[in-house]
Each structure stands twice: as C-alpha cells, then as structure tokens.
Structure 1
C-alpha cells in the first residue's frame, strides 16, 4: 500500500464516520460526506449549530472511519481546521466536485467547511489469508 494507492481508496469513498470530543470529554460521532485532497486531507461541510462544529472549534482532534465494504477500511486521525477567507475557495471547489449537490448549501447562512490534516492513518484489508495492515504517520 502506497500513499498513491491510499489516495485512490479514499477518493472512492465519500462518507466517513467522524468522532470529535465534546466539552465534557465524551466522544461524539456523526456520518458526514467527505472529499479528499491529494495530500490526504479530508474536507466536509456542516452548519455552525451542530455539536461537531462546536467540538472541533474548541478541540480540533478528530478520528474517522472510512470504508467498511469488502473488508477494507481506513482508520484516520487528524487535526481539523475551520476554513475561512482565501483558504476556503480551493477546498470548497474540491468538495463540490465530489458533492455537486452541495452547491445549494453554499448559500446557507450557517454553512461551514472543515479540512482535516492527517496525523496517522491505518489501512486494513482483511480479504487475504494474512490481513494487509499498513500504517502511515504524518
């Protein structure tokens, strides 16, 4: 498993279960649509009235599980960042290529976009007599 192959796997999976940390230190999870950059950054949208938004603004630590069909999955840990200003547009363009239906949401008053920079990723493929498990540290 190479970084290029990992990118291909992630780019074929458009949903993730993400977990963030609440102010009372409990994990909170949500299913979100995700796009991926060539640097393996995740991009997702949400609204500023959600628990994940509050959690990630307060504590950017995020964990995700991506892909669960066919006995292949990715565990992903990283640091989330709220996208604003000039930084928003290039990430938003990547997101909207993956989710063209998101164009309508760009006008929502409380829409927000996050990107997640990977710190650790584990790819697991249990389709083999000896499972393939590869870890990446960033």
Structure 2
C-alpha cells in the first residue's frame, strides 16, 4: 500500500513509496552520450539507497562502466511520481553479497547473487516528488548532499 503523502524531503515516505512500487525505470547513457532506459525491479534501504540487479551483459552495465550518473522514475502508473538522480556503482565481492542478499530479501526469487548477474547500487543525489492527488498538483524536491562511498547494506524495515 502506498503512503498517504509523499514529500521529497521526507525520506521515510519516499522509502515507503518505492518499497510499495517495487519497480521503476532506470535511465543511463552510452559511452557516446545516447540515452537508454530500462524497467527494473527495485529494492530500497532506509537511507533511500536503491538496489537493482541485471544480467552482466545488459546494456545498462556497459553504460554504467562509461558513466556512473543515472536517473530513475518510480510510480509511472499512478497519481504520484518520484524522480531520482544519483550515482550508481556495480558492486562486487562482499558488497555484492550484502546488497544482493538485501535485494533478494525484498524481492524473493531474484537472481541477484547468481552467476552472470550484476548488482547495482544507486546513491540518490536529488529527489523530486510530483503529486497530482490534490486539486493543485504539488512538487517537492530535495538535494541529498553526501559523499558517495562504499557502504554496508542496511536492512530495510518492511
């Protein structure tokens, strides 16, 4: 169930919304700057870190090796849409295991830790919520000032 109100500066409401939506569209760019978008399943941590998995031969993996900058849209079928810009990392080793385990916890049956699949972590740097549930649509934005660095997966409390 989606939260009654979502505001960009209220991370708990953003996390709740994305957790309920479970999927979104991730946009990347090729090495020559051409845009590409893909529908992906999403998991989310309490700090709004997004996680998705994809086949290691997917175009988005090649794109992320060329540019770490991504955009994500969640909620395209309803009256509330969340837009996120951020920095993505393809995680490996212990991080892959940790983030992959959290992705599988939120999306049972995923192949996130299977051979041939990559786990991607997105640290949001900007969030916009567009809400048309009111007579006058509202837009809220938040800039997340944080250093992008490897972090341990924080279990999302569902």
Shorter chain as denominator, the TM-score bin is over 0.9
1:65-104: per-residue Cα shift (whole Å, max 9, x none)? 101233111001001001111222221122001211115x
Normalised to the residue count of structure 2, the TM-score between the two structures is: 0.81
Q: Which of the two has greater helix per residue?
A: 1
Normalised to the residue count of structure 1, the TM-score between the two structures is: 0.92
For this pair of structures, how many residues does the alignment match? 136
Question: 1:28 — aligned with what?
Answer: 36
Question: 1:6 — aligned with what?
Answer: 14
SS of equivalent to 2:124: strand
Following TM superposition, the consecutive aligned residue runs of length 4 or more in structure 1 with deviations greater than 6 angstroms are none
**Mapped pair 1:107 → 2:119:** no
The 8 Å contact of residues 70 and 127 in structure 1, kept in 2 or not, is answered as no
Q: Which of the two has greater strand per residue?
A: 1
Give the CA RMSD over aligned residues. 1.3
SS of equivalent to 1:106: coil
Question: Using the alignment, how far apart are the partners of 1:32 and 1:69 within structure 2?
Answer: 15
Unmatched tracts of structure 1, length 5 or more = none
Unmatched tracts of structure 2, length 5 or more = 1-6, 145-158
The 8 Å contact of residues 42 and 50 in structure 2, kept in 1 or not, is answered as yes
Candidates 121, 128, 144, aligned match of 1:122: 128
Question: 1:95 — aligned with what?
Answer: 103
Question: 1:72 — aligned with what?
Answer: 80
SS of equivalent to 1:70: coil
